[in-house]
Amino acid sequence: MTLRTIVLVKQVPDTQNVTGDAMKEDGTINRGALPAVFNPEDLNALEEALRLKDAHGGRVTVITMGPPAAVNVLRESLYRGADEVVLLSDIAFAGADTLATSYSLVLAIRKLGEFDLVLCGRQAIDGDTAQVGPQTAEKLGVPQITFVSCIDELVEGDAAGAGTGGGRGHITATRSIEGGFETLTAPLPCLLTITNEANDPRPPSVKRVMTYKDAAAETLAEYDDSYLDPENDAAEVCMLDRHGNAVCRAKVVQWDAAALGVERAQVGLRGSPTRVKKIDSVVLAQTDTRLVEPTYEGIAELVRKLTEEHILG
Amino acid sequence: MSNYFSDNPDLRFALEHLDLGRVVDLREDGYTQSRDFTFAPRDLDDALDSYRRTLEIAGEIAGEYVAPRAESVDREGSRLVNGEVCYAPGIDEALDRLREADLMGITLPRRYGGLNFPFSVSTMILEMVSRADPALMNVFGLQDIAETISHFADEEIRRTYLPRFASGEVTGSMALTEPEAGSDLQNVQLKARLGSDGVWRLNGVKRFITNGCGRISLVLARSEEGTTDARGLSMFLYERDEHMKIRRLEDKLGIHGSPTCELQFNDAPALLVGERRRGLTTYVMSLMNGARLAIAAQAQGIAEAAFRAADKYADERIQFGGPIRNLTAVAAMLADMKVAVEASRALLYETALIVDLKEGIERRIGQLGESGAEAGGAETGAGSAAERAASADPAAEIKGLRGELKKYNRLAALYTPIAKACATEMANTVAYQSLQIHGGSGYMRDFAVERHARDARITNIYEGTTQLQVVAAIGGVLSGTMAERLDEYDAADLPATPELLARVRTMRGRWAAAVAHVRAVDDTMFRDFHARRLVEMAIDLVCAYLLLRDAQHDARKLLVAEYFVAGMTARIEGNAVAVLASDAGTIDALAALSRDA
């Protein structure tokens, strides 16, 4: 069995290195003032996928949805070891909320065929919703383990269904929950959302950077991965990996709304029931700290104040 | 985010103004390698873009990953446990990182898994790694020994071992020094005997071996029984097995993360590298020149770190109602340090470029069908037929290249020792001044500067002391090689700085007078006595011309050049007076002066 892992990644404005003009007066993000970066926890998800590949072999496919410039995060994925990358880009996708985004991602995942794992970052640093992963799992009809800080074990099944937990095997992962950890096992295929505690993502390989730095998106209607087979005449072998295996030069496959066969009502703004009502620019005025006595009375007083200020309840 | 490439304008200046066109053309066989390797450049711009991207990645690893671990690496050091060396955890982690980035075979040919980058670029990577942690640079920089294998070993050894270096599977060491053979390597005693089974076996002890625990060692050994000089020594490749014991780890002043081992070889099987008897005379000299350039880069990196520590402290430390950088005495020290760092960097990358040209020309001659033995690096040309660029008239091209090779061989033999002497002495001075600016705090372990001062101290000792670099350089300084090169600098277009140029020329006259005086006295001891002064003056002149060159298109570099020329005028005058006012009689007093009555 060849482990097939799909990683969902997003290009986001770099909200972790914010300058003064990061927000417009109307409260929306001033994208011009913030450089676009690889969403940090998506890099953690990619790293987990690459580690599983290092240990078990297989293939890592990275998908992103975004404007043409989002090809940058796909190149970054290739630099680190992704085997194939897919860009979902179409003006029809613009303005998508998490529901519309997960809808398009699911169509792309289905178009890729069978898979064992979908990995994504816990959440993106622009919207911070943490919804796309869970929604994608629901639509795919596969189990999900969210907030994963450690993948403990992956047991591959075989085609005949001899593996434990079903034909494709199973995965055990530890998730961070409030006040502790929870370890769960799920049958494959399944979806995991990964936190930044899981790993320290690897750096780009300079050889892969030199190979893929000019990789541009190619619009293709159908999915055809024959070029990734080193035995195929059309395959362009790019280099040997650390284990001496041939690596084929990847394409950046681009799919638009038509290639995915979307229903127009389900993508873009039309497919997005979420509306941003109002965004407040909150400046923390309080500079000092208040001491709460570690007594029942002290804690009761704290709860009372938090309730009064509508922070609790 | 800390990136040691993008945060360093002077290093980026060095890359932007380095004239790499010919070097890259020679190294890339006229850009034909992209037919076989997808990561090979298609043209010069493509190559330069790849170098810049690689330097950014290496700079980020150095700044974000290596530097934060340097203090714990220094505190923990390496340990010897049950005969095996354990690196400090930070060293292992950083090596993994560099391996993942594919930076373990920077200059090696692509067919062995390397990047085939010029030394100019690998030297920049070494500088950045050293700024983060010079101890790591020792383990990382020993990929240099793979370069020696690539040059001199036969194809079977290359095919077996080089990919293991390039993938980062193995690290190496150069096992030269022995208890009785330090600077005097021709006294090496470790024995190599060829058994009746056709296998060479090594017996003896090596001492002060940096990373002696590395999987692969290049060992200098006496293969010719009964000999006592350099011509009885050969070079061997030894892969770690049970026949070599690590007897001890040295407890050192600095570079604690770099294990310094004493090795005992007991019938250890080894492979002969190249030909017998050429171990010291050819191979070690080549190995050593590569290592000297690397140590110059190491010192350059330490100096950069020490300068930045002083610069930061001088901003933050408030005394007499303001930051101490407002005090003229401190401001002057900071200016001295910064200008010395930039002057040394100019010399370092000029040297790397010369070495690159020499290697590239050797390689081209090799490709044009030279028989091999004459041109030292002809073996490097053993590539596939597709790699070789055609020549319209090979015989004429070889003839022209031979003349050039002679020139660049001489220049590399002169510039490598002066770059090492300059950078390592500069690093010590800068670290000393940086600690001084920190005052009492600098003497405490709370600040990194005491580590920089300790780490810098070895750089002007190992791979040949500064005194030995002077010995290596004085021939070229006296023979005319230096003067010819200065003529070339002088003939270049330097229209923006006529007044500075005139001052440099005046100083050049003082140096020439001193050289003429030493030649006229014609006494070996007298020459040795003044060799350091003559070499120092030459270093000053080379740096001055290089800074003048840079000042032509950069206003800030003009300030640097002016400050440098003012300082060097005082130094050259002093050195010239010391030489010209002395004669052979001065030498006679030396022995008496160094003892009590």
CA distance linking residue A19 with residue A34, whole number of Å: 8
Closest-CA residue of chain A to B167? A242
* CA of B38 vs chain A CAs: smallest distance (Å): 5
Q: Do the Cβ atoms of A206 and B103 come within 8 Å? A: yes
**pLDDT, position B560:** 98
CA distance linking residue B109 with residue B368, whole number of Å: 18
A 249-288 near B (Cβ less than 8 A): 249
CA distance linking residue B41 with residue B47, whole number of Å: 5
Q: In the structure encoding, which two tokens stand for residue B379, read together?
A: 């073996």
pLDDT at B501 exceeding the cut of 80: yes
Q: Tell me if A274 is assigned to some domain.
A: no
Q: Do the Cβ atoms of B50 and A202 come within 8 Å? A: no
pLDDT at A103 exceeding the cut of 60: yes
Long-range CB contact pairs, B504-511, < 8 A, 24+: B504/B541, B504/B544, B504/B545, B504/B548, B504/B565, B507/B537, B507/B540, B507/B541, B507/B544, B507/B568, B507/B569, B507/B572, B507/B573, B508/B541, B510/B537, B510/B572, B510/B573, B510/B576, B511/B537, B511/B538, B511/B541, B511/B572, B511/B576
Band the pLDDT of B142: cuts 50, 70, 90: confident
Q: Do the Cβ atoms of B102 and A240 come within 8 Å? A: no
In chain B the domains, ranked by start, together with CATH numbers, are 9-165+282-459 (1.20.140.10), 172-277 (2.40.110.10), 480-584 (1.20.120.470)
Q: Tell me if A21 is assigned to some domain.
A: yes
* Amino acid, single-letter form, for residue B296: A
CA distance linking residue B424 with residue B300, whole number of Å: 7
**pLDDT, position A97:** 86
Q: What is the mean pLDDT of residues B539-550?
A: 98
**pLDDT, position A1:** 57
Handedness of CA A72, A47, B166, B285 (dihedral sign): positive
Closest-CA residue of chain B to A50? B100
Q: What is the mean pLDDT of residues B541-545?
A: 98
pLDDT at A55 exceeding the cut of 90: yes
To the nearest 10°, report the CA torsion of A282, A286, A292, A298: -70
Residues with Cβ < 8 Å from B431, sequence gap 6 or more?
A: B302, B303, B306, B449, B452, B453, B455, B456
**pLDDT, position A204:** 97
Q: Which of B5, B39, B49 to mutate to test the interface with A (most CBs of A within 10 A)?
A: B39
Q: What is the mean pLDDT of residues B504-530?
A: 96
Closest-CA residue of chain A to B98? A203
Whether residue B43 lies within 8 A of chain A, CB to CB, comes out as no
Q: What is the mean pLDDT of residues B430-436?
A: 98
pLDDT at B181 exceeding the cut of 50: yes
**pLDDT, position B450:** 98
Q: What is the mean pLDDT of residues B181-193?
A: 94
Residues in B closer than 8 angstroms to A17, CB to CB, are: 1
CA distance linking residue B486 with residue B545, whole number of Å: 8
Closest-CA residue of chain A to B61? A203
Q: Which residue in the block uniquely carries the two structure tokens 């000299």?
A: B285
pLDDT at A58 exceeding the cut of 70: yes
Q: What is the mean pLDDT of residues A96-120?
A: 93
Residues with Cβ < 8 Å from B246, sequence gap 6 or more?
A: B80, B83, B84, B85, B212, B213, B261, B262, B263
Whether residue A202 lies within 8 A of chain B, CB to CB, comes out as yes
Are β-strands A84-88 and A59-65 bridged in parallel, bridged antiparallel, or unpaired?
parallel
Residues in A closer than 8 angstroms to B38, CB to CB, are: 210-211, 236, 238-239, 249
Instruction: Say how many C-beta atoms besides its own lie within 10 A of residue A177's C-beta.
Output: 11
pLDDT tens-digit series, residues B284-316:
988 889 999 999 999 999 999 999 999 999 999
Q: What is the mean pLDDT of residues A136-153?
A: 96
Are β-strands A59-65 and A144-156 bridged in parallel, bridged antiparallel, or unpaired?
unpaired
More confident residue, B340 or B386: B340
Whether residue B50 lies within 8 A of chain A, CB to CB, comes out as yes
Q: Tell me, what DSSP letter sits at residue B175?
A: E
* Amino acid, single-letter form, for residue B267: D
**pLDDT, position B63:** 98
The percent of residues above 90 in pLDDT, for chain B, comes to: 88
More confident residue, A293 or B274: B274
Closest-CA residue of chain B to A237? B38
pLDDT at A275 exceeding the cut of 70: yes
Whole-number average pLDDT of chain B: 93
The percent of residues above 90 in pLDDT, for chain A, comes to: 56
pLDDT tens-digit series, residues B325-378:
999 999 999 999 999 999 999 999 999 999 999 999 999 998 887 444 343 443
pLDDT tens-digit series, residues B109-134:
999 999 999 999 999 999 999 999 99
Q: Is B582 exposed, middle or buried (0-12, 13-18, 19+ CB in 10 A)?
A: middle
Residues in A closer than 8 angstroms to B97, CB to CB, are: 202-203
Q: What is the mean pLDDT of residues B512-537?
A: 96
DSSP count for chain B of H helices, then E strands: 20, 11
Residues with Cβ < 8 Å from A19, sequence gap 6 or more?
A: A33, A34
Residues in A closer than 8 angstroms to B113, CB to CB, are: 240
Q: Is B490 exposed, middle or buried (0-12, 13-18, 19+ CB in 10 A)?
A: middle
Q: Tell me if A303 is assigned to some domain.
A: no
**pLDDT, position B283:** 93
ipTM of the complex: 0.91
Closest-CA residue of chain B to A205? B101
pLDDT at A224 exceeding the cut of 90: no
**pLDDT, position A243:** 74
Q: In the structure encoding, which two tokens stand for residue B369, read together?
A: 């069908």
pLDDT at B445 exceeding the cut of 90: yes
**pLDDT, position B595:** 84
pLDDT at B385 exceeding the cut of 60: no
CA distance linking residue B253 with residue B426, whole number of Å: 19
Band the pLDDT of B384: cuts 50, 70, 90: very low
State the DSSP string of A152-219: EEEEE--TTS-STTSTTEEEEEEEEETTEEEEEEEESSEEEEE-TTS--PPPPPHHHHHHHTT--EEE
Whole-number average pLDDT of chain A: 88
Band the pLDDT of A26: cuts 50, 70, 90: low
Q: Which of B5, B37, B38, B162 to mutate to test the interface with A (most CBs of A within 10 A)?
A: B38
- Please report, for the domain that includes residue A40, its CATH number: 3.40.50.620
Q: Tell me if A200 is assigned to some domain.
A: yes
Q: Tell me if A282 is assigned to some domain.
A: no
Q: Do the Cβ atoms of B113 and A209 come within 8 Å? A: no
Whether residue B329 lies within 8 A of chain A, CB to CB, comes out as no
Q: How many CB pairs under 8 A join A and B?
A: 54
Q: What is the mean pLDDT of residues A214-232?
A: 87
Whether residue A238 lies within 8 A of chain B, CB to CB, comes out as yes
* CA of A60 vs chain B CAs: smallest distance (Å): 17
Helix axes B524-551, B555-580, angle to 10 degrees: 160
Domain that holds residue A20: 4-266
Residues in A closer than 8 angstroms to B100, CB to CB, are: 202-203, 205
End-to-end CA separation in angstroms for chain A: 51
pLDDT at A100 exceeding the cut of 80: yes
Q: What is the mean pLDDT of residues B227-249?
A: 96
**pLDDT, position B380:** 45
Q: In the structure encoding, which two tokens stand for residue B314, read together?
A: 């001088």
Residue among A147, A199, A150, A200 at smallest CA distance from A174? A150
Q: Do the Cβ atoms of A242 and B61 come within 8 Å? A: no
Q: Tell me if A276 is assigned to some domain.
A: no
pLDDT tens-digit series, residues A154-182:
998 865 555 444 578 999 999 998 889 99
Q: Tell me if A288 is assigned to some domain.
A: no
* CA of A88 vs chain B CAs: smallest distance (Å): 26
Whether residue A209 lies within 8 A of chain B, CB to CB, comes out as yes
Q: Tell me if A300 is assigned to some domain.
A: no
**pLDDT, position B387:** 43
The percent of residues above 70 in pLDDT, for chain A, comes to: 93
Residues in B closer than 8 angstroms to A210, CB to CB, are: 38-41, 50, 53-54
Closest-CA residue of chain B to A238? B38
Residue pair B148/B286 in contact by the 8 Å Cβ criterion = yes
Q: Tell me, what DSSP letter sits at residue B148?
A: H
Number of domains in chain A: 1
Residue pair A43/A72 in contact by the 8 Å Cβ criterion = no
* CA of B401 vs chain A CAs: smallest distance (Å): 31
